[in-house]
A and B are shown apart, each in its own frame.
Chain A
Amino acid sequence: MVGVVPLGDVGGVAVRIVAANVQAVLGLATDILEPRPLPESAYLADRHQFDASRIVAHMAAWTDLPGHRRIVGLASVDLCVPILRFVFGEAQIGGRFALVSGARLRRNADGGEAPLDRYYERLVKVALHELGHTLEIYHCDTPGCLMQFSPSVQHLDRLDVLFCPRCFFVLRRAVRALVQAPDA
């Protein structure tokens, strides 16, 4: 149902933790797929960053994974989009593909390194948030909800690993539709 794809150089533990949490929260069988290279065309030399929207567009052109209804890419490079200085992840609203990077999740706002469990928790939150977008959930303003837009790691740390009732309603519905729909 859901596939987690390491993009470039990503730790195996992180991949397993994300997959396990996605499976637990969404209630959808989740596989870890073979790693794939990051598309070089998504690198922005002037910003020393990867354009997350270009990576997602690149993923959307994959034709060899028809069995997975949702695919989340896991990267470790610094991501941005043309209009924002950085992003933690990116996704297609109502589409199949989402992307997360741990690059900015390892450090706290003061520059110090975050404990490993905190880092994994952040990664899981961003992955679930971006997968939420692929299930047509929009940004939410309910305090603590995973679908709040997080502009910083401090903000991300204030969120629960939970969707508010409104977002959870949409999620449950979308997941049910995915399970019931005949295979693509």
Chain B
Amino acid sequence: MTGRFKILVIDDELIVRESLVGWLKKGGYHVEGASGGREGLERLEREDYDLIFLDIKMPDVSGMEVLKQVKERYASTMVVMITAYGSVETAVEAMKLGANDYLMKPFEPEQLTLLVEKLQQHKRLLDENLLLKQQIATTAAERYQDIVGISEPMQALFQLIEEVAAVDSPVLIRGETGTGKELVAKAIHARSPRRFGPFVPINCGAFTESLLESELFGHEVGSFTGATKAKKGRLEIAQGGTLFLDEIGEIPMKMQVDLLRVLEERRIHRVGGTRDIPVDFRLISATHRDLSREMERGHFRQDFYFRLNVIEIQVPPLRERREDIPVLAEHFLGKFRRETNKPLEGFDAGALELLCAYDWPGNVRELENAVERAVVLTKGRRLQRDDFAFLFRGGAPSEPHSLKEMERLHIQRVLSLCGGNISRAAKLLEINRTTLHNKIKKYGLRVNG
């Protein structure tokens, strides 16, 4: 996940902290403050930051100690030490321990801007490398075909999709990872008057800021190094159809303004271009974040939010509609039976009981993966409880496991489910990132999905 540049300011002095947070907010950055080393480390356990401004002198946990822990656990997070007159030696020491830079307070305005620009550039390069690696892995991720459900919440959802499809207003879809938000968007498109136009999805969290801009708006020849051909952006490609912006919460503030402008004026300029290009699409966006909370914290523009959220759709997590689990399981079984050509007859009662009891933190996507795995590995004609033992190892009498072993297997499974994303895995496991890191170390687990 790349998206926006996130900054954490750790300083025990309220006035200094508020002043720096205030200045960074004017830059449209996603920024938060922590009142000391301990609070700072707690925040880092819950969320990823790209850059930390870290006060050297703090009463609870010193800046140097925080720096050591950050470098050990979150190596890619950049750190700028804040020093006072007279503690420059400590700052130099901090650079040896891996701090990216230091500033003496009060800062020279010019130094602060240059430094933030430099660090952002640095992060952009790291992200672009990371993206190249990820692109190989993500192609297989999104694939299931249809939304399935007999439960009351799903019946209500189908009803809503029908109603929403008929109008042309923007829709915001909310729901946990793996609940099938893109499927809902596709279903709306397929029932709408725009169904003969294209459905154009884009995951806003999967691009760096500059790449996202060129993906959305397209570019003209020579607008940046490497732009040897003009390219249409997805806003243009979606002409007459539906544009689906997934992970909309990851869009940087500046681009929120650009998109707001497109929604109001219905025309765009390509990057590096001056021509007015008219655009015509219906916008559907989705997020797993609580955008009203992001707005309160100044991370999301209110005017943009109101534009997106004309109609809101909630997709329920699988654990809140357990009666759909057998239906979904059958649906996926049918699909993989066709794909693998295995003569499978169905699930036995024990297997269904086990599937219905499980909490499915990864939602429908996790269930699909589980059924696929069972189909591939089973030796019998019916899928049995044992075929899903990997979900909760304790369920298989033939393979007794210790509590520790269960924990190890469960963590490994969640990690691969999350493609090695520590934050997401920690969230699913409902433990903090440090605890997860410690357990990975303890069990010697592989982190790459």
- Interface residues in chain A, defined as those with a beta carbon under 8 Å from any beta carbon in chain B: 47, 53, 80-87, 93, 133, 136, 138-140, 149, 151-152, 166, 169-170, 173
| A84→B109 contact, CB < 8 A | yes
B residues less than 8 Å from A140 (CB atoms): 254
| B257→A151 contact, CB < 8 A | no
| A166→B27 contact, CB < 8 A | no
- Interface residues in chain B, defined as those with a beta carbon under 8 Å from any beta carbon in chain A: 15-16, 18-20, 22-23, 25-28, 105-110, 112-113, 253-254, 257-258, 260-261, 264, 298, 301, 303
| B109→A86 contact, CB < 8 A | yes
A residues less than 8 Å from B110 (CB atoms): 151-152
| A83→B107 contact, CB < 8 A | yes
| A138→B27 contact, CB < 8 A | yes
Q: How far is the CB of A88 from chain B (nearest CB, A)?
A: 9
Interface of chain B, main secondary structure: helix
Q: How far is the CB of B431 from chain A (nearest CB, A)?
A: 35
| A138→B16 contact, CB < 8 A | no
B residues less than 8 Å from A173 (CB atoms): 264, 303
| B26→A87 contact, CB < 8 A | no
In whole angstroms, how far apart are the Cα atoms of A140 and B257 in the complex? 11
Pick the most buried of B16, B19, B260: most chain A CB atoms within 10 A of its CB.
B19
B residues less than 8 Å from A80 (CB atoms): 106
- Given the known inter-chain contacts A53-B19, A139-B28, A151-B110, please indicate yes or no for A83 contacting B257, CB distance below 8 A: no
In whole angstroms, how far apart are the Cα atoms of A170 and B198 in the complex? 30
- What are 16 sample pairs from A and B whose C-beta atoms fall under 8 A apart? A47-B106, A81-B19, A82-B16, A82-B106, A83-B16, A83-B19, A84-B19, A84-B109, A85-B106, A86-B109, A136-B301, A138-B253, A138-B254, A149-B109, A151-B110, A169-B260
Q: Which 9 residue pairs are nearest across A and B when measured between Cβ atoms? A: A138-B28, A151-B109, A151-B110, A82-B19, A83-B19, A139-B27, A83-B20, A82-B15, A85-B106
Q: How far is the CB of A78 from chain B (nearest CB, A)?
A: 13
In whole angstroms, how far apart are the Cα atoms of A87 and B253 in the complex? 24
- Given the known inter-chain contacts A138-B254, A169-B261, A170-B257, please indicate yes or no for A85 contacting B25, CB distance below 8 A: no
In whole angstroms, how far apart are the Cα atoms of A66 and B215 in the complex? 46
Q: How far is the CB of A46 from chain B (nearest CB, A)?
A: 11
In whole angstroms, how far apart are the Cα atoms of A115 and B257 in the complex? 37
Pick the most buried of A83, A85, A170: most chain B CB atoms within 10 A of its CB.
A83
| B106→A83 contact, CB < 8 A | yes
Chain A, Cβ-Cβ closest to B255: A166
B residues less than 8 Å from A83 (CB atoms): 16, 19-20, 23, 105-107
In whole angstroms, how far apart are the Cα atoms of A84 and B19 in the complex? 8
A residues less than 8 Å from B261 (CB atoms): 166, 169
In whole angstroms, how far apart are the Cα atoms of A83 and B22 in the complex? 10
A residues less than 8 Å from B298 (CB atoms): 93
| B22→A53 contact, CB < 8 A | yes
Q: How far is the CB of A90 from chain B (nearest CB, A)?
A: 9
Q: How far is the CB of A151 from chain B (nearest CB, A)?
A: 4
- Given the known inter-chain contacts A138-B254, A152-B110, A166-B254, please indicate yes or no for A84 contacting B23, CB distance below 8 A: yes
